Amino acid sequence: MEALRSQIGARSLGVYAINYPASSDFSSSDFPLTVIDGVRDASTHIESMAASCPATRQILGGYSGAAVAGYVTSAAVPPDVPAAAVPAPMPAEIANHVAAVTLFGTPSGQFLNRYGAPPIAIGPLYQPKTIELCANGDGVCGAGNDPVAHVSYAMNGMTSQGADFAARHL
């Protein structure tokens, strides 16, 4: 957030942390439920902000497990997922209130498949305003196998890159 704060000048900036039990234990049987909890909380907050503060430009962001909240931008429930088990996609008009989506270390489809989860599909209304950053060697979002790469985002300049992207979209 500090990288973005320094870019937006006198504009106000508020932060909302998604309320869900974050975990790096992707193989836990509870992992899909934590993702669903995160998507539900994120979409509820985003829709509430759009309704109560319609002039506010929201920036969605997440790292690793929180980046799976990128599901919140999906235009449809993923195939093979029972629609009743997950929150419905947000109404299309909500995309007008989202300035940018910045995701760091987003679990790849191949990575999620190992744990029985569907790939994250950024919806078409959000694609032009989304940046997904994956550190070289990060095996969660890419083809690498360097565990240090997955925790390098705060030090490798990518948070600044994400902040630049978000600030340009405000």
Among 37, 41, 43, 64, the one annotated catalytic = 64
CB-CB contact of 100 with 170 (8 Å): yes
Widest pairwise Cα distance in the chain: 46
23 catalytic? Reply is no
Residue 41 falls in the annotated catalytic set: no
Dist CA 138 CA 117 (whole Å): 19
The catalytic position among 41, 74, 108, 138 is 138
CA distance 83 to 1: 34
Contacts of 98 (CB under 8 A, 6+ apart): 46, 57, 58, 59, 60, 73, 126, 129
Q: Which of 41, 43, 108, 150 is catalytic?
A: 150
Backbone conformation region of residue 21, classed left if phi is above 0, alpha if psi is from -120 to 50, else beta? beta
Active-site residue, 169 included: no
Give the phi and the psi of residue 149 in degrees, each rounded to 5.
-60, -35
* Residue positions annotated with a catalytic role: 64, 138, 150
